[in-house]
Structure formats: structure tokens, C-alpha cells
Amino acid sequence: MADDKKIAVGADHAGFELKEKIKLLLSELGYDVVDFGTNSMDSVDYPLVAKALATSVAQKNPPRGILICGTGIGMSIAANKVKGIIAAHCVDAETAKLARLHNNSNVLTMGGRTANSDVAGEIVRTWLNTGFEGGRHQRRIQEIRDLER
């Protein structure tokens, strides 16, 4: 399968249920899903899931990922500590669109306790189908890369 049809997903206990729904959507959309867990509602620490998925996505294996915790905020904070990751916490289709157009995010984070599954589906579809605008935004992404040195 082409790399652009591969995607990683991961969640903590608070994101587990939404992750399972998003996996179904991704399969329907023809994506090959790599699941970094967790696989139950038993409590787990979101930074560990974020680290595993983000390390893999930073190596483009696969090139994009979706992380879900209670709010999406903790996953975003943790994933953004991994060099090469631009994780964007999105709450609706507009933030998802801009997280691709302007930020070229390679990780999407969402809140399992804050986004209903319809909105989450809309966020995922928009994020997957929107490209990076480049231009002045490329310079800004490079300025973020410079912070990693």
C-alpha cells in the first residue's frame, strides 16, 4: 500500500473508544492502520503512547498519525517533544484544515472526552484531505525546525 494510505493511531484509556471508531472510519476510507494501542479502558499514561507513535511517524513509518486522549492536549504536548513532529490539537473542521494548510502537521490530536464522534470524523476527513499550502508557511515551519536544534 502507498505510504500516503498508511496511518498510525494511538490513544490512552480516555481516547480508546474514539480511537476504535476512528479506526473503522480510516478502514472505510481505504487506509492501512497501524495501531499503537491502548486496547482497553484500563488506565495508561498518554506520554508513553505519544512517544511510541511519534517516534515512528518522525521516521515516516508511517508518515502520519492520530493521537487521542481525554482532551487531545496531553497527547499534543507529548508528541511535539519528538523531533520531526508537528502535532496539532484540532477541535473542528476549521482547525483541522488550518493545521494542514498552514502548519503541515503530521500528527492530529483529538479529545475523546471533548469531541463527539461525528465531529471527530469530520476533523479526520478534513485533516487527511487537506494539503500544505507552502509559501510563507514553509519559512515558518523551518523556523520551528530551527527550534529543534
Q: Which amino acid is at 28?
A: E
> Which of 71, 103, 109, 126 forms a contact with ligand RB5 (CB under 6 A)?
71
Q: How many residues bind ligand RB5 (CB under 6 A)?
A: 8
Assess 14 for contact with ligand RB5 (CB under 6 A).
yes
Cell numbers found for residue 71: 482532551
Q: Which stretch binds ligand RB5 (CB under 6 A): 2-10, 67-75, 116-124, 126-134?
A: 67-75
Query: Which of 35, 70, 98, 119 is in the footprint of ligand RB5 by CB under 6 A?
Result: 70
| The one catalytic residue among 89, 90, 102, 137 | 102
Stretch 77-116 residues interacting with ligand RB5 (CB under 6 A): none
**Chain contacts with ligand RB5 (rule: CB under 6 A):** 12, 14, 46, 69-71, 73-74
**What residues are labeled active site?**
69, 102
